[in-house]
Structure formats: C-alpha cells, structure tokens
Structure 1
Amino acid sequence: MLKILIVEDEFISRALLMEMLAAHGVCHVAVNGREAIDVLRRSMQSGGGYDLVCLDIMMPEMDGQEVLTEIRNMEREFGLSGRRATKVIMTTALTDSQSIMKAFTEGCCEAYLTKPIDRSKLQATLQDLNLIP
C-alpha cells in the first residue's frame, strides 16, 4: 500500500483524487503549500516520507512549483534519493508549455496531469512510475 499526499486547495479536486487513489494506499491531504511542507518534513523526520505526492500548481500561500523545489531540498537534507525519493505528479488546470517545462526541469517532477483528472490517465501514470502493477 502506498502512502499518498494530495496537495490541493479545491475541495472537489481533492475529493476526486482521494476517491481515485484510495484503492492504492493511505491518502492524506494538505490544503495549501505551507501545510504540505509541514506534513512532508514531519514525515521525513520520522523516517517515513511519502511514496506519491499529487501536487496542484496554483495554490494560496505557496504554489506547487515552490513546494516541489522544497520537497527536493528536503530529500537532499534527509538523504532520500533514487528509489526512496518521492514521486511527484503535478496536477493543474494550466496547460501552457512553460508551466509543464518548469515542473519537469526546475522541480524534477515525474509526471504532469491536467484537470479534470482522468482516472485512466492517472492509473497509467501510476503504472509508468512503477507505483502500481
């Protein structure tokens, strides 16, 4: 079972992702970027971490790009790399190529899905990331 963090400020999107991912593991939620960083830091400090983070790009307080950068910084701090690193799927309504390239090149996310999230695309992405069979 996966340990999944859904970082999403919009209730409907959060609820849909939880429903789609619940069969694959334990889902926790954060409603903004600051809360996500706090949750992730505590998890990494306790030796756990998350297998998957679904991260919205447009959020209050701290956007998804900033959170992604901080996730990668924390992983370096706690010595989490390779297979132990968190898989991050950016989820957003943004479809412009600049946002997509920034997520991959600057933040090193593993995947990018546009809203509304399609269940079959999410499943395929989880399989591509070797998170599910």
Structure 2
Amino acid sequence: MKFLIVDDDFDSRKLLQKILHKYGYCDIAVDGEEGVDAFRTALKEGAGYDLVCLDILMPNMDGQQALREIREIEKEFDVKAGEEAKIIMITGLDDSKEVHDAFFLGDATSYIVKPLRKQLLLDEIESLGLTLEERA
C-alpha cells in the first residue's frame, strides 16, 4: 500500500507517518503544491497512491484546491472510475462548509477532524475498502 501525507504541521505529519508506515510506504508533503506535485509524479511513474491524507488549512495551496487538482490529474491520466485514490481530508476545523466543499466540490472520500486518533483513522481507512496488512 502507498500513502501520501500532506500537512503543514510537523507533529501531524509525524503522527500520520507513525500510524501508517507499518502498513505501507509513506511519502510526505508539507503543503498542497508539494502534495499535488508528488501525486502527479507518482502517476507518471506508474505507482499511484492508494490513500492521500490531506490537511485542509495549509500555506501556498490549501487542501481544497489540492484535492480538486489531484482529481483533475487522475482524469489526465485516465484513472478509471473506482480506481481513484482514496482521499481523507483532515482538519482542525469542524466546519460544515469545509465538509460540503470537500465532498461535493472536490470529491473527497472521507473527512476526519483533529485531534487524530489511531483507531479512528485505521477504521476509516478500512471502511473505504482498503485492507491494512502489516508489512514484514
């Protein structure tokens, strides 16, 4: 399994990486621009991400814009319906407008409000149809 963690907060990135690394390979990006670049590069290399954890509030490019660009990149690369990356929007905001925009304007797969809890994240990932198996 391959993960992309996009968050401007060091502690959040570190926590996500700590939780996910035992289940697969984790790439890290510190803002939306870097996350979009990483996503495009992965598809160019034929090794797209299974899951993207995407913070909403970030400098340079916020998570909502990054989400829209990631979905456009998938269209450019003719990613088939149902094979798109699962994208979990992660934020400290419990804001219904942000939730609406993420799901209906950006086609997010899920939404989690910080503080992150390990079991909640793992349960959410599995509810999206991804099987988490610990790597050897």
Q: TM-score range by the shorter chain?
A: over 0.9
- The aligned counterpart of 2:26 is 27
Deviations for 1:79-123, whole angstroms, at most 9, x for unmatched residues?
Answer: 013332111000000101111111000011110001111111111
Unpaired runs of 5+ in structure 1? none
Q: What are the superposed Cα offsets for residues 12-50 of structure 1, whole Å, 9 maximum, x if unpaired?
A: 000001011112111110001111111111111121111
Output the CA distance in 1 between the equivalents of 2:80 and 2:128: 15
Secondary structure of the corresponding residue to residue 129 of structure 2: coil
Q: Is the 8 A contact 1:75 1:85 kept in 2?
A: yes
1:123 counterpart = 2:122: yes
| Cα distance in structure 2, aligned partners of 1:102 and 1:33 | 16
Q: Tell me which residue corresponds to 1:112.
A: 111
- Name the SS for the 1:73 alignment partner: helix
* CA-based RMSD: 1.0
- Corresponding residue number in structure 2 for 1:40: 39
Partners of 2:3 and 2:70 lie apart in 1 by 14
Letter in 2 for 1:37: V
After alignment, is 81-90 or 5-14 more displaced? 81-90
Q: Which amino acid aligns with 1:131?
A: L
- TM-score under structure 1 normalisation? 0.95
- Which residues of structure 2 form unaligned runs of 5+? none
Q: Is the 8 A contact 1:33 1:62 kept in 2?
A: yes
> Hey, what's the Cα distance between the residues in 2 that align with 1:130 and 1:89?
13
Identity %: 44
- In 1, Cα distance between the equivalents of 2:122 and 2:35? 23
Q: Please tell me the residue identity of whatever aligns with 2:20.
A: L
1:90 alignment partner AA: M
Q: Conserved in 2, the CA contact under 8 Å of 1:24 and 1:132?
A: no
